[in-house]
Structure 1
Amino acid sequence: MRHLLQTGQRGCYNSKGLEVPCAGSGQDGEYRIGEAWPENRFEVQGEVVRDNLTGLQWTEDANIGGFPVSWQEALDQIKVLNKDGYGGFGDWRLPDRRELRSLMSYQTRKPSLPVDHPFRNVFLGWYWTSTSAAIHPDYAWSVHLEGARMFYGQKDQYYLFWPVRGTGNGLLPATGADRCLDESGQESPCLGSGQDGEVQSGFPWPQPRFAVEGALVTDKLTDLVWARGANVTQQIVTWDEALQAIRELNRDGYGGVSNWRLPNINELESQVDCRSHSPALSVGHPFGETQEGYWSSTTSFFETDWAWVLYLHKGACGVGYKPGKTFHVWPVTSLQEP
């Protein structure tokens, strides 16, 4: 895989939330797809912490502002940090949604950060990102540190912010955002804004991004291979039914492939283009029958009878109750065996 992080999930859990053996489960904890985390992930350098997985540097203090602020106030306060040379640097910025999500662990909760992380003053609530929500331009994406949910909040609401610096090591892809939008949702000049649309951090996407071969679509950014038809069950299903549907696709050799899997939440999120909504996929994407929500193979560690879901129309990452018939199935495989 390329430009994709492991979620950190190591356990496997049934629909009652009980831990079960991973072998043969088809769950995230079995496959562990993505770039593995280094043994010594974080390196403290004074007031700054380097993430050796992504190459990004974060403030050790996860509440540098001291109290919740509006989105624009977060952007403005980071400019003050730069003027003051916080930690010896003058290039701090508000992280984009993929950068902030990269800190999340899906095997922990309260906070949903890797075990033994070195950060202090972590608030179990919402943190702003620099990425505006395409579906509601007067909203911006935020991540909840209690359980790792990612949703959008109105820009005049009050959340915390966590500065980041550096360009990283190329592992994280860009979000696709290329415009800047003010608190009212109106397009505004990008220069000096600090918004995702100005910075456009992350690995640039190949053009064209997708290659179609029959029933298969290869994402040339990640090397993941997706079913071109994004509604293989033709109906909403439970989480167990989603995993069973994948087994049946493999039994039948759907699309000439016998190693389909239910994608983990990071694989699903990698599809999101933050310029778009309804669905939040790149304009001209080749997929058919896209649906509102998709099950992932990743259990919610906050409540293990729930699983992570991508809300594709919005681009949000939330959770669904495993026994509920509520979401669809979008199979994925790899260019090589996982």
Structure 2
Amino acid sequence: MFKVKSLLLLCLAAVLLLIPVITESAVTDGTISLQKTGQAKCYDSDGNETNCAGTGQDAALLAGESWPDPRFTDNGDETVTDNLTGLMWAKDGNVMQARDPDFDADGSAGDGSVYWQHALDYVAKLNTENYLGHNDWHLPNVNELQSLINADEYNSAGWLNENGFTNVMPNDYWTSSTSISYKVYAWAVYMGYGYSSTSDKNTTAYYVWPVRSGQMGTISIQQTGNTKCYDSAGTEISCTGTGQDGDVRAGAEFPSPRFTDNGDGTVSDNLTGLMWTKSANSGATTSTWQEALDTVAGMNSASGTDGYTDWRLPNMNELKSLLDFSEDYPSLPQGHPFTGVRQDYYWTSSTLTAVPGSAFVVSMDISHVYYYSKKIEDYYGIWPVRGGEVEAPPEQFPDLTVKTLGSSGKPKKDKKITLSAVVKNIGEKSASTSSVQFYLSTNNNASSVEGDKLLGTTKATGNIKVNGSKTVKLTLKVKGKAGNYYLKAFCDSGAIVTESNESNNIKVSKKISIK
């Protein structure tokens, strides 16, 4: 009996010893998930749409939490809930202009854009008046406002107006977050392109969009890190009742410790679960965007880097998740274990869809999220990441088909005739140069040219972009016996192009008669 009890005690002790190990390892999964940027297409450095496969771009990997469908719910009471983040927004993206135009005496009076303190004052006014039945509205912080951006859209404001909101302006909106570098400045988000920047609290009039937090969403947005408040003169003040970011502190708190040095050249973020290279200075001193993508791809060759072969260039949301807006030079949480952090911009894998020859960049000195030409070769950093939710979209292919087939005049024996075929690419990727062959047939079978007579020579199409078309012509002298026939045009007859649909390449004309 004694031996049995001892054995049980030893087993219990072993289980108890395992408990903290299990808990600690769970931390590396992260306390929040980051949302996808929304980007679904890939673009080269010239801004041309390209096949995503193997590019390492944002849309090639789709890293992050998928968006629910529908993304937004109109609550029928002039509020809209974001089902991804759980945030509740005023349906009207320019409430002040519609409801209280007299409140706005700044800039262009009555347009709904005001100076920063007046933006905070207006939200306080809405709470006093129990706007839409609620008294807990706040001016969104920079992370909350940027969560509405869809990186696949040319204009996020227009997309939002098509998805439940009204009067969202393709302009700058104030956030409640003060710039730690220039305390007379506050953060704003441009709801057209989706970048963030800082502006003078006292001389710049921007729009106001109230939000409520506390609902249950698919993900949680992280706090900005701000815990202090500053007035329009840049003087630190008590946060209580200000409605500023440091007062509300909306979002998920940073865990302690925020980062874990894994001792193998990598660092795990205990907030997001992402793993970063400890050195924030990968690659050459200067690099273009494509060189940044190539550098990270090279890290995955052979046995990989630091024991892993799935590194990627972070998308916009992943890279800015490192930011602590209460810090600058660098804009990282105090006590971070990273080395070689550049006081400059870092490349992301996300393209600015409105200007597809440009990519988003994130500054690690003062937290800007901006964009620059992909071809610029500057001191932009490369900071590889791995982990999180990643899914590769199905490979895209061109799809060539003959839309129209015709001839000039009626065919007469020994007379010249010109055949004309319009070839269109209805696929999702540009098609390299292909060919068209014309046939004379006694049947109208659109799936085969077996037994049909080839007319003339094979004609080249040249490259055809997505939804583009090329007209191919063949002039020849009519030969053959008198009778009834069909013309056929067979695009990509040599099977040069790999297509998503190989069964729609033949077009058959109406019956023709040769006399």
* TM interval, short-chain normalised: over 0.9
1:250 and 1:257 in contact (8 A); partners too: yes
C-alpha change, 1:57 and 1:40, in structure 2 (3 Å) is same
Distance between the aligned counterparts of 1:196 and 1:106, measured in 2?
25
Give 1:168 deviation, angstroms: 4.0
Does residue 50 of structure 1 match 2:81?
yes
Deviation at 1:337, TM superposition (A): 6.6
Higher strand share: 2
Q: Which of 292, 298, 303 is the equivalent residue of 1:248?
A: 298
Tell me which of 268, 272, 297 is aligned to 1:222.
Answer: 272
1:310 to 359, 362, 365: 362
Which amino acid letter does the alignment assign opposite residue 205 of structure 2? Y
Tell me which amino acid in the other structure corresponds to 2:332: L
Q: Quick one: which amino acid aligns to residue 313 of structure 1?
A: D
User: Which of the numbers 183, 186, 191 marks the counterpart of 2:232?
Assistant: 183
The corresponding residue for 2:319 is 268
Contact 1:105 1:113 in 2 (8 A): no
Name the residue aligned to 2:385: 332
Q: Which amino acid in structure 2 is aligned with residue 334 of structure 1?
A: G
Query: Contact (CA 8 Å) 1:105, 1:112: kept in 2 or not?
Result: no
Secondary structure of the residue aligned to 2:291 is: helix
Report the counterpart of residue 340 of structure 2 in structure 1: 289
Q: Match for residue 84 of structure 1?
A: 129
Q: Which residue of 203, 206, 217 maps to 2:252?
A: 203
Bigger radius of gyration: 2
Q: CA deviation at 1:167?
A: 2.1
- Letter of the 2:235 partner, please give it: Q
Contact residue 103 and residue 114 of structure 1 kept, 8 A: no
Please state how far the C-alpha of 1:110 moved relative to its aligned partner. Answer: 2.6
Match of 1:70 among 107, 112, 115: 115
Equivalent position of 1:41 in the other structure: 71
Q: Is the 8 A contact 1:103 1:113 kept in 2?
A: no
Give the C-alpha shift of residue 3 in structure 1. Answer: 3.0
| Aligned-residue offset at 1:283 | 1.1
1:236–1:325 Cα contact (<8 Å) kept = yes
- 2:141 is matched with which residue: 79, 82, 96? 96
Say whether the 8 Å CA contact 1:215–1:255 is kept in structure 2: yes
Question: What is the distance in 1 between the residues matched to 2:125 and 2:345?
Answer: 40
Q: Deviations over 1:66-118 (max 9, x none)?
A: 22101110000111111111111111110011100011100112335646321
| CA distances 1:273-330 after superposition (whole Å, capped 9, x unpaired) | 0110111001111111111111000000110000000011010100010011121200
Going from structure 1 to structure 2, the CA distance change for 1:337 and 1:81 (only over 3 Å counts) comes to closer
Tell me the distance in 2 between the aligned counterparts of 1:325 and 1:225: 27
Q: Deviations along 1:232-274, whole A, 9 cap, x unmatched?
A: 1141200110010011111151111111000000000000001
Corresponding residue to 1:301 among 353, 377, 381: 353
Which consecutive residues of structure 2, in runs of 5 or more, have no partner in the other structure? 1-29, 98-111, 392-515
Distance, in Å, in 1 between the alignment partners of 2:175 and 2:289 is 30
TM-score by length of 1: 0.97
**Matches of 1:267 and 1:198, distance apart in 2:** 26
Q: Distance in 2 between matches of 1:105 and 1:139?
A: 26
Q: Aligned residues, how many?
A: 338
Contact preservation (8 Å) 2:275, 2:385 = yes
> What SS class does the counterpart of residue 290 from structure 2 fall into?
helix
Contact 1:94 1:161 in 2 (8 A): yes
Q: Which amino acid aligns with 2:49?
A: E
CA contact (8 A) 1:111 1:122 kept: no
Q: Secondary structure at the match of 1:82?
A: helix
Structure 2 distance, partners of 1:222, 1:192, is 30
Give the distance between the partners of 1:137 and 1:63, measured in 2 at CA: 26
CA distance in 2, matches of 1:20, 1:329: 22
Match of 1:117 in 2: 163
119-128 vs 161-170, which moves further: 161-170
Matched, 1:161 2:208: yes
Over 3 Å counting, the alpha-carbon distance change for 1:112 and 1:305 in structure 2 is farther
Deviation at residue 30 of structure 1 after TM alignment: 1.1
Kept in 1, the 8 Å contact 2:186–2:199? The answer is yes
User: Would you say 1:320 and 2:366 are equivalent positions?
Assistant: no
Alignment counterpart, residue 21 of structure 1, candidates 51, 64, 68: 51
Q: Is the 8 A contact 2:62 2:390 kept in 1?
A: no
Consecutive unaligned residues in structure 1, runs of 5 or more: none
Distance in 2, Cα, partners of 1:222 & 1:262:
16
Check the 8 A contact 1:96/1:175 in 2, yes or no.
Answer: yes
Task: Measure, in 2, the Cα distance between the counterparts of 1:113 and 1:220.
Answer: 35
* Per-residue deviation, residues 220-241 of structure 1 (Å, max 9, x unmatched): 1000000110111141200110
Q: Does 1:238 align with 2:238?
A: no
**Percent identity of paired positions between Structure 1 and Structure 2:** 38
Any conservation in 2 of the 1:69–1:160 contact (CA below 8 Å)?
yes
Amino acid corresponding to residue 197 of structure 2 in structure 1: F
Gap change, CA 1:257 and 1:113, over 3 Å in 2:
farther
Secondary structure of 1:77's partner?
A: helix
Distance (Å, rounded) in 2 between the aligned partners of 1:21 and 1:281: 35
**CA-CA distance at 1:335 after TM superposition:** 6.2
